[in-house]
């Protein structure tokens, strides 16, 4: 692994998994990437502009746009929920 990059694991659910053709992706990102950076640069092209309004978690906890990602983080993409 290039020392200036880090690897994160991304989980997709519901129609977001359909759009990504899979429930798991591994991404190599530049060090210092925030959750917001990752969504805008790497996910929005595939998931569409609505994905800016979705919720995200990092390591099984809700995370904000400003969250600094670290090597090995698990990011979950949470499209609008429909339980019940």
Partner 1 sequence: MDVYRITKEPIDVASALIDIADDRAGAQALFLGTVRNEFEGRSSRGLYYDAYEPLAEKELRRIGEELKQEFGALHVVLIHRIGDLPLGVVSVLVAVSTGHRGEAFAAAREGIDRIKLRVPIWKKEHWGNGQDAWHHDPEAFPAK
User: Contact positions toward partner 1, by CB under 8 A?
Assistant: 11, 13-15, 18, 50, 55, 57, 60-62, 76, 78-84
Q: State which residue, 14 or 64, has the beta carbon closest to partner 1.
A: 14
**Residue 51 Cβ, how far from partner 1 at the closest point, in Å?**
11
Q: How far is the CB of 26 from partner 1 (least distance, A)?
A: 17
Nearer to partner 1, 38 or 47 (CB): 47
* Angstrom distance (rounded) from CA 22 to CA 5: 23
DSSP for 26-77 reads EEEEETT-BHHHHIIIIIHHHH-GGGGGSEEEETTEE--TTPBP-TT-EEEE
């Amino acid at each position: 692994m290039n020392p200036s990059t880090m690897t994160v694991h991304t989980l997709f659910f519901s129609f977001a998994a359909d759009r990504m053709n899979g429930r798991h992706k591994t991404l190599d990102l530049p060090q210092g990437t925030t959750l917001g950076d990752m969504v805008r640069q790497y996910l929005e092209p595939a998931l569409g502009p609505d994905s800016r309004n979705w919720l995200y978690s990092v390591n099984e906890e809700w995370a904000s746009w400003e969250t600094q990602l670290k090597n090995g983080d698990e990011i979950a993409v949470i499209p609008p929920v429909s339980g019940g």
